[in-house]
Structure 1
Amino acid sequence: MACPAIEELFVKSRFVSDPFTLFIFLVYLPFGVCLLLLRVFIGLHIFLVASALPEGTIRRIIVRVMCVVLGVILWQDDPRKRDSQTKVVVSNHVSHFDYNVLGLLSPFVTPLLEGPPSILAWARGFIDLGQQDRATLVATCRKFCSKQANPALLLFPEEACTSGKVGLLKFSSWAFAISLSVQPATLSVHRPVVAVNVLGSSWLYDLLWTFFVPCTVYQVRWLPVETKKENQTHEEFAKLVQELLGSALALVPTPYSSADKAELIKRLAHEEHPPSAGFWPEMNTPTIPQQVPLGDPGAVGGEMQLLNKARKVKEVLPHVPLGIISVDLAQTGCVDVTITNLLEGRVHYESDEMASPQVAPSGCLQGARASLVAPVFGSTSSQRHQSLQQRKSVLLNCALRKYQEKRGSETS
């Protein structure tokens, strides 16, 4: 089966474009708002009850029944397939609340991978096992699993949510370096009318939509325990489990990682849906930043910072007018993103003819231009980063050669 494009793994719109479905949503809208307000009030009480009750089977059963009131319905095929001796459970990632839902079936602990430890992270079900680097996290998780009294670890090797309908993100190998045996679990989430999660949405918005819709059904299926072979690396073991989960869910295992998803969100935010975009076309046209009053020290500092960034881009791309660089930097705020936009032709401009003869000798200028007409970046973030670094290296070498020639002519 062919590997899909990374955009196909995610949903960009919360609503379905089908007219009949939209009509049903509009009819349901007033009932959904009332249900949302009621469930927010009930959800606070459920959280207090869950925090007060001691950890155990009784607490999980009570909270699971109360979650039905919130519209969260949980189903598993056969509880006896869950191996209680296996200390590491891995699953695909579909929603921001997968760990909370699976925690209602069996006692699990999910490590915090990003963000500082806080009361909010604890309330969402995360614990801090050391996230400074992956080596520290693996060592802490191994020590945690070595104690029989501790619950099992619930890990999501994709490290990012997908739509759960097309493919799986690449599994991180660190999750398979903790224990020799892991138990995979498949997770499917279904919801009427609206999508379960949207590309770039936060957990808070997804929680409100969970309260808004009539119900969200989670289906869990436990797969047999997989054990790592002696001559098998962690990466090979992770790929094997990814293929097993993909086969069980009828999804395509892809080479895209969570970093590729973050890059996709950033690219869409800066290129397809800029923050200043409006409903009218003229509102989407970038404008040159206006002059800042001298009496505003903060604004002047921001203008100076923008100018410094523009000069850095100008050093790499001396043939690009400074005004064009400043316009794109005002939107992206990132030197690397602006350089990428200029190199890939996303920003249209006319070269500064007055500055072009001073960029470099003819041979170096031809080499630089040859590097700029490369087709596109690769399909992965590492390939795109390598291509960008190669182009930047060519242009920097040309600038250095021109500087050396200029110094030589001045000394002579």
Structure 2
Amino acid sequence: MSQIEIKELLNESRFPSGWKLVSVLIYTPVGLLLVILRLIVCLHLWLLATILPDCQSLRSILNRGLAFVFGIIVKVNQDSEKRDEQARIVIANNISALDDFVLATAANTVTPSLSNLPDSLSNALGLQKMDMSSKDNLVTEIKQFLANSKINIALQPEFSATNSHKALLKFNTWPFTIESTIQPIVLQAKRPEFVDIQLTSIASTWWTDVMWFMFAPYTIFTVKFLKIKRNTDADVLVRDVEKEIADSLKIETSQHTVSDKTEYEKRYVIEKLQNRGPQNQSVSSSQIVASIEMQRMARQVSEVLPLVPHNVILRDLLKTRNVDVTITNILDGIVTYTPEPAPTTASSSSSRSKPLVSTPMTSITSTTALTFQERKAKMIAEAREKYIKKHGLKDC
């Protein structure tokens, strides 16, 4: 396994260079007309799925309509194995926002989702609403679904799309704990030479990827079924399937995970903003002000919870924008962290200079007798009182 950088797994730009870029510009008016037409068709399909009752004929109509809307053509590789129905779980690499639709068309599968679409439209897209609040809940629901349905489940353990040119993201193990028999599927896609637009790019959103599907005249997906893999050891099975798919694509496996990709995309966006130059001074100024305010809020949280690392506090504040909510998240265990070591210099010297004072047993009993919510409320109240006295605030 070679050392491949995470950026090699992603497309920095969606657009080609040279004469191919010129041809894209020439094609643009046609592409925009196609987008408008396909959006109109998409609206009609939505209305059909909402008004008409769910049935097989409606799902067939929706499937064909969606194939036109997205401009997707699905083909099975000539060297492909046959679809083996013994494997209820199929595993595929992730290359686009519409892989679920492709897998549903080629392998009669659905992919777990949080979507609230009408049943017929959701099924036509290859999605199945399931409880995704936790991994254990999802695994349980998938097993129940397989027991009560003839439709198979498709999972993509990379959990994020890559270009599949250099290497795969490291597969997550939990999809392989559902069943011991897996059929790997290899997905590849291409667009016409004169509109050679990439399926995805760094930090792109799913809806922008879908819009470019509508812009392109068509996208050909090639599906290749591999021989089924069996192993009761999920840790062994995941690596076997990962290597099998990588070998079929003639690329490598990697140690990069979806978290590494997310972090790289964040850094990439920040660097882009910083390198825009003086023309964005107003944006930079607002970012500096926001950063100062965020640091002030982080200090307030640190005064209440001094053992929580500063970067952990900042990360949650970026989501909540609220000191009290962040404190509650940390106390409730929603935010996990490794406590920082308590400062020893001042505390140790003070402990040597002062005699040890025994803590009354009644105080310990009263503290432990408090419920979790009471301790949390008491801690917050004491911290607020301390903060008000420190800054000389009144009427708070």
Q: Over residues 79-119 of structure 1, what are the superposed CA-to-partner deviations in whole Å (9 max), with x where a residue is unaligned?
A: 8711223211111110011011221223212112xxx5533
- Is 1:200 the counterpart of 2:203? The answer is yes
Structure 1 residues 204 and 408 mapped into 2: Cα distance closer, same or farther (>3 Å)?
same
Measured in 2, the distance between the counterparts of 1:146 and 1:155 equals 17
Equivalent position of 2:155 in the other structure: 155
Q: Which moved more, 1:174-183 or 1:58-67?
A: 58-67
Measured in 2, the distance between the counterparts of 1:67 and 1:126 equals 15
Equivalent position of 2:110 in the other structure: 109
Equivalent position of 1:307 in the other structure: 296
Quick check: 2:72–2:219 contact (8 Å CA) kept in 1?
yes
Measured in 1, the distance between the counterparts of 2:239 and 2:180 equals 15
Q: Which moved more, 1:52-61 or 1:186-195?
A: 52-61
**What are structure 2's unaligned runs of at least 5 residues?**
319-336, 356-396
Measured in 2, the distance between the counterparts of 1:227 and 1:37 equals 47
Counterpart residue identity of residue 41, structure 1: I
- Is 1:32 the counterpart of 2:31? The answer is yes
Map 1:267-286 to 2 at 5 A: 267-270=267-270, 272-274=271-273, 278=276, 280=278, 283=281, 286=284
Counterpart residue identity of residue 71, structure 1: G
Map 1:34-53 to 2 at 5 A: 34-49=33-48, 52=52
Counterpart residue identity of residue 142, structure 2: C
Quick check: 2:106–2:223 contact (8 Å CA) kept in 1?
no
Equivalent position of 1:254 in the other structure: 254
Equivalent position of 1:93 in the other structure: 94
Quick check: 1:278–1:284 contact (8 Å CA) kept in 2?
no
- Is 1:213 the counterpart of 2:220? The answer is no
Measured in 1, the distance between the counterparts of 2:297 and 2:70 equals 52
Q: Which moved more, 1:79-88 or 1:130-139?
A: 79-88
- Offset at residue 49 of structure 1 (A): 4.9
- Offset at residue 234 of structure 1 (A): 0.8
- Is 1:334 the counterpart of 2:315? The answer is yes
Counterpart residue identity of residue 22, structure 2: F
Structure 1 residues 282 and 97 mapped into 2: Cα distance closer, same or farther (>3 Å)?
closer
- Offset at residue 62 of structure 1 (A): 7.1
Measured in 2, the distance between the counterparts of 1:53 and 1:244 equals 42
Q: Secondary structure at the match of 1:184?
A: strand
Quick check: 1:277–1:283 contact (8 Å CA) kept in 2?
no
- Offset at residue 308 of structure 1 (A): 2.9
Measured in 2, the distance between the counterparts of 1:245 and 1:404 equals 57
- Offset at residue 200 of structure 1 (A): 1.8
Structure 1 residues 308 and 279 mapped into 2: Cα distance closer, same or farther (>3 Å)?
closer
Measured in 2, the distance between the counterparts of 1:67 and 1:169 equals 28
Equivalent position of 2:347 in the other structure: 404
- Offset at residue 202 of structure 1 (A): 1.4
Q: Which moved more, 1:162-171 or 1:70-79?
A: 70-79
Measured in 2, the distance between the counterparts of 1:10 and 1:111 equals 25
Measured in 2, the distance between the counterparts of 1:142 and 1:133 equals 14
- Is 1:130 the counterpart of 2:73? The answer is no
Measured in 1, the distance between the counterparts of 2:81 and 2:60 equals 17
- Offset at residue 5 of structure 1 (A): 0.9
- Offset at residue 247 of structure 1 (A): 0.6
TM-score, with structure 1 as normaliser? 0.67
Measured in 2, the distance between the counterparts of 1:409 and 1:120 equals 70
- Offset at residue 56 of structure 1 (A): 4.3
Equivalent position of 1:296 in the other structure: none
Q: Over residues 2-58 of structure 1, what are the superposed CA-to-partner deviations in whole Å (9 max), with x where a residue is unaligned?
A: 231111111121112x23222112211222111211121123334455674855489
Structure 1 residues 74 and 284 mapped into 2: Cα distance closer, same or farther (>3 Å)?
farther
- Offset at residue 60 of structure 1 (A): 4.0
Identity of aligned residues (%): 23
Q: Over residues 187-234 of structure 1, what are the superposed CA-to-partner deviations in whole Å (9 max), with x where a residue is unaligned?
A: 0011232110112211111111111112111110111111115xxx21
Q: Secondary structure at the match of 1:168?
A: coil
Measured in 1, the distance between the counterparts of 2:188 and 2:53 equals 29
Structure 1 residues 284 and 145 mapped into 2: Cα distance closer, same or farther (>3 Å)?
same
Q: Which has the higher contact order (CA 8 A, sep 6+)?
A: 2
Structure 1 residues 58 and 76 mapped into 2: Cα distance closer, same or farther (>3 Å)?
farther
- Is 1:171 the counterpart of 2:174? The answer is no
Measured in 2, the distance between the counterparts of 1:68 and 1:306 equals 50
**What are structure 1's unaligned runs of at least 5 residues?**
292-298, 317-324, 338-387
Measured in 2, the distance between the counterparts of 1:410 and 1:289 equals 47
Measured in 1, the distance between the counterparts of 2:146 and 2:21 equals 48
Measured in 2, the distance between the counterparts of 1:237 and 1:409 equals 58
